[in-house]
Amino acid sequence: MNKQNRDLANAIRFLSIDAVEKANSGHPGMPMGMADVATILFKYYLKFNPKNPNWTNRDRFVLSAGHGSMLLYSLLYLTGYQSISLNDIKNFRQLNSICAGHPEYEKNTGIETTTGPLGQGIANAVGFALAEEILKKRFGKDIFDHKTYVVAGDGCLMEGISHEALSLAGHLKLKNLVMLFDNNSISIDGPTSLAVSDNFKKRFESYGWNYIGINGHNEKQIFKTLKKVQKAKKPTVISCKTTIGYGSPNKSGTASAHGSPLGKEEINLVRKKLKWKHEPFKIPEKILKEWRKVGNKGLKEEMKWKKNYNKKKNVIEKTFSNKFENIFEIEKQKVIKNLETLATRKSSEKILTILTETNSNIIGGSADLSGSNNTKTNNHKIIKPGDFKGNYIHYGVREHAMCGIMSGLALHSSLIPYGGTFLIFSDYSKPSMRLAAFMKQRVVYVMSHDSIGLGEDGPTHQPVEQLSHLRSIPNLNVFRPADTTETLECWQIALNSLNSPSVLALTRQKINPIRKEFIKENKCSFGAYELSRTNQEIGITIFASGSEVNLALEVSHKLATENIYSKVISVPCQELFEKQLTNYKEKILNETKFKISIEAGSTDCWRKYVGEKGLTFGINDFGKSAPYKEIYKHFGLTSEIIAQKTKKMIKK
């Protein structure tokens, strides 16, 4: 590195070392190792404007190795983002500091996505790169033409999600995706040779990626390679051989530099070795000025871009304006006029068919279950390798990456991604779903085959505890609609939830309509609502969701023949019900002393509604392989058994 660039890189190193030391926690090794690569990237190549972190056509910089968060915070501060001040860096890892332990997405800050669970950033980056290609095709290269750079470490590449995401990126030929692999051969337990002997070159090449190996401390090699990738025809990984904790005489190149403060004595030695004479958190004027110059270079470029953008502004904004409301109202009327017995996955397809006719910002897909999830409609065109004019992604059997990629699509620029799989395989996607909820992203997970109702595929495919798990994730709305009208209403809420992802748990089996009259109001938006009652005065409340609402109606009618009266509460979304006003909740919850719940899944999340003495009908065991009606019988989910047990309860 020449003197000036060395100074720039050392500014990153010392901010990182000193912030970690002050917080007495954090990861200095990675920022010290990757400082040179990051400096050359930001100084000569990265297209960004700290004055407008949201510039649509900026390059995306994703830190998949989220533990190295100080690398990102240092870069954002040094290049002049308003979001991160020197004070914020001094507050690294303290309560409410923007400089959180791991990067936490916040719009308009330069932190493009939340990372920390290793490998997630890679999938997000694939989503960014894919969004760029899709939008470039739609609006032209003068509006969308940027790169996505992702910094990934040994750990990211060991995680399974990296395989899924890299493989799809290679297949689709996402040429604007560049991975900077921090190939330092060290992770927490020690040298990576303890656990890995992959041939990275062969691995990447087999995915259809360019693989370029360089010395990550050699300025010329870094510069030259970054120049080369600007014209790449495929996604490229630059494998940067680096030294973790670069500059630390006793800790560099070892796992001890990974995740703890270096300590005062060692930091003194690093200062000596790197000839850095400045106090902690003091960046000399000259160096800061130089970094700010780097930050200023994007302004002109954005201005130039803005001229092109203004010409197409109206068209672009129209695409992103969501035109749903009329559609939903008209469709709801049609559904009621022509009541059908349908599986809710089929109901969902009907709605999607209409939505996708007019909303080209909705990007569908499935993890190889398009026909089963009913996610693909006649209006969809497939996104193919190097051909991005479509609006449907065959994610392949890659549930985890699919969900991470969808987050990237949503974060990039208000595309609305939805993707399908079986509800049981939410277990394969949950880490990404959790992060989407944390990042407040509008992503829709279409999860069909939502219970034992799927039948013969048996316990490996029958979700039991999954609804309960998903409901426990904050800011994730879990919808389990009971018929076509409810499915439509739930889709409407999901699309209007700008700050929450949604799960639509849908049935494989056919369901009789439960809503037979047109009501303009979106009943599902209350989370739970009264569907029917057998008398004005009632003694029992029956809560149910999805396919079990019909069962609840049967039970209610059966009890009525014996002069036991009840109301049925359909509960399509517990999370939304929790948010209702106390009065509303009281009316639903506390009209009767006796309460029961019916849902073909684990029962723990219903206890709060039925109370200690209430009965919860559900399944707390693995399912069964058989025709579905027999499985319902096997688990006591029939109107006869439920009515009988309910009678027993009220007689006690």
Ligand X SMILES: Cc1ncc(C[n+]2csc(CCOP(=O)(O)OP(=O)(O)O)c2C)c(N)n1
The residues assigned a catalytic role are 399
30 binds, among ligand X, Mg ion, none (CB under 5 to 8 A by kind): ligand X
State which of residues 17, 22, 26, 29 lies at the interface with ligand X (CB under 6 A). Answer: 29
State which of residues 244, 393, 424, 555 lies at the interface with ligand X (CB under 6 A). Answer: 244
The string of DSSP letters for 590-649 reads SS-SEEEEE-SS-SGGGHHHH-TTSEEES--S---SS-HHHHHHHTT-SHHHHHHHHHHH
Residue 637 Cα distances to 63, 336, 598, angstroms: 49, 28, 8
CB of 645 to ligand X, least distance (A): 44
Closest by alpha carbon to 335, among 326, 323, 347? Answer: 347
Length of the chain: 652
Cβ(543)–Cβ(553) under 8 Å? no
CB of 158 to ligand X, least distance (A): 8
Closest by alpha carbon to 118, among 150, 96, 142? Answer: 150
Torsion of CA 278, 284, 287, 292, to 10 degrees: 130
- Interaction of residue 184 with ligand X, rule CB under 6 A: yes
Q: How do 529-533 and 566-570 pair as beta strands?
A: antiparallel
The string of DSSP letters for 471-507 reads HTSTT-EEE---SHHHHHHHHHHHHH-TT--EEEE--
Residue 436 Cα distances to 73, 124, 472, 499, 607, angstroms: 22, 10, 14, 9, 28
CB of 225 to Mg ion, least distance (A): 20
Cβ(41)–Cβ(149) under 8 Å? yes
**Which residue has 């991975």 as its token pair?**
179
Q: Of 180-188, 325-333, 339-347, 401-409, which segment contacts ligand X by CB under 6 A?
A: 180-188
Closest by alpha carbon to 122, among 70, 73, 199, 177? Answer: 177
- Interaction of residue 69 with ligand X, rule CB under 6 A: no
- Interaction of residue 186 with ligand X, rule CB under 6 A: yes
Site residues for Mg ion per CB under 5 A: 153-154, 184, 186-187
Q: Of 178-186, 382-390, 493-501, 578-586, which segment contacts ligand X by CB under 6 A?
A: 178-186
404 binds, among ligand X, Mg ion, none (CB under 5 to 8 A by kind): none
Measured from the CB atom, is 153 or 501 closer to ligand X? 153
State which of residues 1, 32, 118, 637 lies at the interface with ligand X (CB under 6 A). Answer: 118
Cα 529 from Cα 574, distance rounded (Å):
11
Taking CB positions, which residue lies at the least distance from ligand X? 153
Stretch 131-170: interaction string toward ligand X, x if CB under 6 A? ----------------------xxxx--x-----------
Q: Of 85-93, 113-121, 349-357, 506-514, which segment contacts ligand X by CB under 6 A?
A: 113-121
What is the size of the binding site for ligand X (CB under 6 A)? 20
Measured from the CB atom, is 195 or 650 closer to ligand X? 195
CB of 514 to Mg ion, least distance (A): 55
CB of 160 to Mg ion, least distance (A): 17
258 binds, among ligand X, Mg ion, none (CB under 5 to 8 A by kind): ligand X
**Which residue has 């919850």 as its token pair?**
589
Measured from the CB atom, is 33 or 601 closer to ligand X? 33
State which of residues 116, 127, 417, 572 lies at the interface with ligand X (CB under 6 A). Answer: 116
State which of residues 43, 60, 67, 138 lies at the interface with ligand X (CB under 6 A). Answer: 67
Measured from the CB atom, is 152 or 415 closer to Mg ion? 152
Q: Helix count (H) and strand count (E) of the chain?
A: 24, 20
- Interaction of residue 188 with ligand X, rule CB under 6 A: yes
188 binds, among ligand X, Mg ion, none (CB under 5 to 8 A by kind): ligand X
364 binds, among ligand X, Mg ion, none (CB under 5 to 8 A by kind): none
**Which residue has 């939830």 as its token pair?**
497
492 binds, among Mg ion, ligand X, none (CB under 5 to 8 A by kind): none
Phi/psi of residue 376, each to 5°? Answer: -100, 125
Contacts of 346 (CB under 8 A, 6+ apart): 374
State which of residues 19, 38, 65, 178 lies at the interface with ligand X (CB under 6 A). Answer: 65
Cα 301 from Cα 251, distance rounded (Å):
41
CB of 156 to ligand X, least distance (A): 6
- Interaction of residue 258 with ligand X, rule CB under 6 A: yes
Q: Of 61-69, 340-348, 540-548, 555-563, which segment contacts ligand X by CB under 6 A?
A: 61-69
Cβ(449)–Cβ(424) under 8 Å? yes
Is 474 exposed, middle or buried, given 0-12, 13-18 or 19+ CB atoms closer than 10 A?
exposed
CB of 35 to ligand X, least distance (A): 13
CB of 325 to Mg ion, least distance (A): 50
Q: What does the binding site for ligand X look like in residue numbers (CB under 6 A)?
A: 29-30, 65, 67-68, 116-118, 153-156, 159, 182, 184, 186-188, 244, 258
